[in-house]
Amino acid sequence: MKNIYEALVEIMGERGVSNRPEEIWFYGRDPGVLPPHPPDYVVAPETTEQVQKVVQLANREKIPVVPMGNGMALTGLVIPLKGGIVMDMKRMNKILEVNEMARYVVVEGGTSQGMLKAHLRDHYPRLRHSLPDAPPTTTIAANVSLHGQGCLTQQYGFNSDMVSGLEVVLPTGELCKIGSPSLGPYWFSKGPSLPDLSGLFLGWLGTTGIFTKVGLKLYPNKKIREMEIFVTDKAELVPEIIYKLTHLEMLEDLIAWFQPKPLMFKDNYHLTIYFTGDSEKEIEFKRTMIWDALQEFIDNKDGGFMNVQAMKPNLMENPQRGIAAFADVPRGGGFEYSGPITLIELYPQFAAKVVELAEKYDVIYSSAARVISGGHSMMFSISFAFNRADPAMMERVKKALDEATEYALKMGGIPWKPNYMEQKMTMDHMDPNTLKLLRMIKKNLDPHGIMNPGNWEPAP
Amino acid sequence: MGSLKFDENVCATCPSADCLIKCQYMDFEEDEAHNEMMKIVKGLDSRVLHDCVTCYACEEYCRRGNHPFYLIGERREEKGIYTASRAITNQWINLTQMQGKPMVGTVKDKALSSCFIPDLGALGSGELFKEVFPAVTFGAEFMCPAVHTHFAKMSVVKERLPKVMENFKKLGVKEVICLHDECYGTYTSIAQAYGMEVPFKPVYYMDFLLTRLKELKDRIIPLNIKAAYQRPCSNRLIPHKHRLVQEIMDYIGVDMPGRKYQGENSLCCAEIIRSVAGYKLADDIQGRNIDDMLEAGAEYCVFNCPACQSSLSEKVSKKGLKPVHIIDLCKMAVGEKGREG
Amino acid sequence: MEYARQIEHADIVHRCFRCGYCKFPEDYVDFNCPSYKAFGWDTFSPGGRMWLIRAWLNKELETSPHFSRILYSCVACGNCKDQCVYPRFKDYLLNVFEEAKAELVNEGRIPPEVRDYFKAVSVNGNPYKQPQEERGQWADGLGLKEFTDQEYLFYVGCVGSYDEVGQRMARSVGQLLSETGVSIGILGKEETCDGHEVKVLGETGLFTALAEENIMKFKKKGIEKIITLDPHALNVFRKDYPKLRGNFEVFHYTEILSQLIRNNQIPLSNYQAKVTYHDPCYLGRHNLILEPPREVLKGLPGIELVEMRRKGLSAFCCGGGGGNFFTDMVGSGENNPARIRIKEALDTGAEIVAVACPQCAKMLDDAIKSEGQEDWLEVLDLSELVNRVRSK
- Whether residue B275 is predicted with pLDDT greater than 90 in this model: the reply is no
- Side by side, which strands form the sheet with C184-185? C184-185, C152-155, C225-228, C249-252
C268-389 fold:
Rossmann fold (3.40.50)
Nearest to A44 by CA among A81, A90, A4: A90
Q: Tens-digit pLDDT profile for chain C (392 aa)?
A: 567 899 999 999 999 999 999 999 999 999 999 999 999 999 999 999 999 999 999 999 999 999 999 999 999 999 999 999 999 999 999 999 999 999 999 999 999 999 999 999 999 999 999 999 999 999 999 999 999 999 999 999 999 999 999 999 999 999 999 999 999 999 999 999 999 999 999 999 999 999 999 999 999 999 999 999 999 999 999 999 999 999 999 999 999 999 999 999 999 999 999 999 999 999 999 999 999 999 999 999 999 999 999 999 999 999 999 999 999 999 878 899 999 999 999 999 999 999 999 999 999 999 999 999 999 999 999 999 999 999 76
C21 vs A331: CB contact, 8 Å cut-off? no
Enumerate residues 6+ apart whose C-beta is below 8 A from C140. Answer: none
Three-state secondary structure call for residue B172: coil
The pLDDT of residue C332: 79
Other beta carbons within 10 angstroms of residue C163's beta carbon come to 22
Which chain A residues contact residue C311 at CB under 8 A?
A: none
Q: What is the mean pLDDT of residues B268-278?
A: 90
In angstroms, the separation between the Cα of residue C320 and the nearest Cα of chain A is 21
* A77 and A173 co-located in one domain: no
Q: What is the pLDDT of residue A310?
A: 87
Instruction: Give the nearest chain C residue to A123 (CA atoms).
Output: C29
Q: Can you give the pLDDT at residue B30?
A: 79
Inform me whether the C-beta atom of residue B94 falls under 8 Å from chain A C-beta atoms: yes
The DSSP string of C315-358 is PPP-S-TTTHHHH--S-SSTT-HHHHHHHHHHHTT-SEEEES-H
Domain shared by A214 and A236, yes or no: no
What is residue A187's predicted lDDT score, i.e. its pLDDT?
A: 98
- Predicted pLDDT at C392: 67
Instruction: Work out the pLDDT band at A146, boundaries 50, 70, 90.
Output: very high
Chains B+C touching (3+ CB pairs under 8 Å): no
Contact B112, B132 (CB under 8 A): yes
Let me know if chains B and A touch, i.e. at least 3 Cβ pairs under 8 angstroms.
Answer: yes
Give the end of a domain, one of A71, A88, A105. A88
Alpha carbons A378 and B7: distance in angstroms, whole number: 57
Do residues A109 and A80 share a domain? no
Instruction: From chain B, pick out residues whose CB is under 8 angstroms from the CB of A265.
Output: 91, 94
In a domain, A455, yes or no: no
Please tell me the predicted confidence (pLDDT) of residue A151.
97
Q: Please, which pLDDT band fits residue B341 given cuts at 50, 70 and 90?
A: very low
Whether A285 and A385 share a structural domain: yes
Confirm if A381 and A323 have CB atoms less than 8 A apart.
no
Residue B85 near residue A298, CB atoms below 8 Å: yes
Instruction: Say if residue B219's pLDDT is above 50.
Output: yes
Bond into A193 cis (ω within 30): yes
Q: Which residue, A88, A117, A152, sits at the end of a domain?
A: A88
Which 8-state DSSP code applies to residue B111? E
Domain ranges within chain B, ordered by starting residue: 8-79, 93-209, 216-333
Phi, psi of C76 (to 5 degrees): 55, 35
Q: Does B84 touch chain A (CB under 8 A)?
A: yes
Domain residues for A72?
2-88
Q: Provide the number of structural domains found in chain A.
A: 3
Q: How far is B47 from chain A (nearest CA, A)?
A: 15
Against chain A, the chains showing at least 3 CB pairs within 8 Å are B, C
Q: Give A385-435 pLDDT, tens digit per residue.
A: 999 999 999 999 999 999 999 999 999 999 999 999 999 999 999 999 999
How far is Cα C193 from Cα C198, in angstroms, rounded to an integer?
9
pLDDT at C1: 53
Chain A hits for B97, CB-CB cut-off 8 Å, are 263
The answer to whether B275 contacts A295, with C-beta atoms less than 8 Å apart, is no
Nearest-Cα residue of chain C relative to residue A94? C30
Statement to judge: residues A48 and A185 lie in one domain: no
Last residue of a domain, one of A220, A252, A270: A220
Q: pLDDT value at position C333?
A: 84
Fold agreement (C130-257, C268-389)? yes
- What mean pLDDT comes out for the span A169-175? 98
Domain range annotation of chain C? 10-110, 130-257, 268-389
Which CATH architecture group holds C130-257? 3-Layer(aba) Sandwich (3.40)
If DSSP codes are grouped into helix, strand and coil, which group holds residue B164?
A: helix
Partner-chain contact C52 A25, CB within 8 Å: yes
pLDDT beyond 60 at A196: yes
User: Residue A264: which of B85, B91, B274 has the nearest Cβ?
Assistant: B91
Tell me the percentage of chain A whose pLDDT exceeds 70: 99
**ipTM confidence score:** 0.96
A2 pLDDT band (50/70/90 cuts)? low
Selected for mutation to probe chain A from B88, B151, B273, B286 (highest A CB count within 10 Å) is B88
Bridge-partner residues for A275, per DSSP?
A226
CA distance C192 to B297: 64
Check residue C212 and give its pLDDT: 98
**Start-to-end Cα distance in chain A:** 28
Instruction: Evaluate the CA torsion angle C96, A93, A69, A387 in order and state its sign.
Output: positive
pLDDT in tens, B309-325: 999 999 999 999 999 99
pLDDT at A52 over 90: yes
Domain B216-333 sits in CATH at 3.40.50.1860
Would you state the pLDDT for residue C303? Answer: 97
pLDDT above 80: residue B339: no
Three-class secondary structure assignment of chain A: CHHHHHHHHHHHCHHHEECCHHHHHHCCCCCCCCCCCCCCEEECCCCHHHHHHHHHHHHHHCCCEEEECCCCCCCCCCCCCCCCEEEECCCCCCEEEEECCCCEEEEECCCEHHHHHHHHHHHCCCEECCCCCCCCCCEHHHHHHCCCCCCCHHHHCCHHHHEEEEEEECCCCCEEEECHHHCCCCCCCCCCCCCCHHHHCCCCCCCCCEEEEEEEECEECCCEEEEEEEEECCHHHHHHHHHHHHHCCCCCEEEEEECCCCHHHCCCEEEEEEEEECCHHHHHHHHHHHHHHCHHHHHCCCEEECCCCCCHHHHCCCCCHHHHHHHHCCCCEEEEEECCEECHHHHHHHHHHHHHHHHHHCCEEEEEEEEECCCCEEEECEEEEEECCCHHHHHHHHHHHHHHHHHHHHCCCECCCCCHHHHHHHHHHCCHHHHHHHHHHHHHHCCCCCECCCCCCCCC
Q: How many contacts, defined by CB atoms under 8 Å, are there between A and B?
A: 65
Q: What is the pLDDT of residue C334?
A: 86
Question: Are A147 and A210 in the same domain?
Answer: yes
- C-alpha to C-alpha distance for A183 and C49, rounded to whole angstroms: 45
Query: Which residue in the set B95, B274, B310 is minimally distant from A305, CB to CB?
Result: B274
Same domain, A165 and A187: yes
**Residue C275 dihedral angles phi and psi, to the nearest 5°:** -125, 135
Q: Which pLDDT value is given to residue B143?
A: 97
Confidence at residue B189, expressed as pLDDT on a 0 to 100 scale: 96
Q: Which of C11, C14, C17 would you mutate first to test chain A, the one with the most A CBs within 10 A?
A: C17
Regarding whether A102 and A30 lie in a shared domain, the answer is no
